Amino acid sequence: EAQVTQNPRYLITVTGKKLTVTCSQNMNHEYMSWYRQDPGLGLRQIYYSMNVEVTDKGDVPEGYKVSRKEKRNFPLILESPSPNQTSLYFCASSLTGLRLTNTGELFFGEGSRLTVL
Amino acid sequence: DQQVKQNSPSLSVQEGRISILNCDYTNSMFDYFLWYKKYPAEGPTFLISISSIKDKNEDGRFTVFLNKSAKHLSLHIVPSQPGDSAVYFCAATFRGGNKLVFGAGTILRVKS
C-alpha cells in the first residue's frame, strides 16, 4: 500500500530534549516536505526536499533541521525543543515536485502530535 | 500575512443540501489551487484542483469554481453527505513554486 509513515504519532517531551520525528514514503517520490498545523493558521511549510541531499527552508524553519540521505526518508529534527513547537506535524511527498504531477497533489502522513512542556 | 484565507471557521449543512466552502487569496502569482479534506487523526487528502486557465472543475459531487478577478475560489458539494463532515483546506501554488500555501481550514458538519 502506498503511504507516508510518520513516527511517533504522539510525543510529550520537555524543553531542550532533542527529538527526531521520522518520515518514510514507499512511493519513490522525489519531493518531500514537512508542515506544521496550528489553530487558525492552517498548515505552514517547515522544510522541503526536492531530492536526495537537496533540502531548503520553508516558511517556518527556525528551530528545526532536516536531512535527506535516502530518497524514502526525510526526518525532522528538533535539536532543542521549546513550547512554541508544540504542534501537529505532517510529512508529505509528491512524485516529482508540486507542479509536475498531473494534479499537483501532495500525499500526507497521518501526523505527529508533539507537546513540549 | 496569510496569502490564502478561509474566513469561515465552520459550516453546518443538512444532509442532501449544498455545501459551499469559500477561499480568498491575495497573491496574484498563484495559478493552481487545490482543496484537501482532513478527518480527525488522519493526514489531509487531496480532493480536487483547478488551474487558473479554467474557471470550473468538476469531479462527481465536488465542483470548484475560480474567480480570478476577485481572487476567490469556492468548493461546492452537492448533495452533502454525513461522510463529508471534515476539515477542508484550501491551498494554492504557482509555477516553479515549491510549496503549497494553505488556508486555516473550514470545519464542515453535515447533519443527517
Rounded CA gap, B112 and B95, in Å? 41
Mutation target among B99, B102, B106 for the A interface, most CBs of A within 10 A: B99
In this predicted structure, the answer to whether residue B34 has a pLDDT above a threshold of 70 is yes
Which of A19, A85, A18, A76 has its CA nearest to residue A49?
A76
pLDDT for res B65: 98
Rounded CA gap, B102 and B105, in Å? 8
Chain B residue with minimal CA distance to A102? B49
In this predicted structure, the answer to whether residue A104 has a pLDDT above a threshold of 80 is no
When pLDDT is averaged across residues A2-22 and rounded to a whole number, the result is 96
Rounded CA gap, A12 and A80, in Å? 14
Contacts of A35 in chain B (CB under 8 A): 102
- In the predicted model, what is the mean pLDDT of chain B? 94
Rounded CA gap, A3 and A71, in Å? 14
Burial A46-65 (b: 16+ CB within 10 A, else e): bbbbbeeeebeebebbeebe
CB contact under 8 A, B43 and A97: no
- What does the pLDDT look like over A51-83, one tens digit per residue? 999 999 999 999 999 999 999 999 999 999 999
pLDDT for res A2: 82
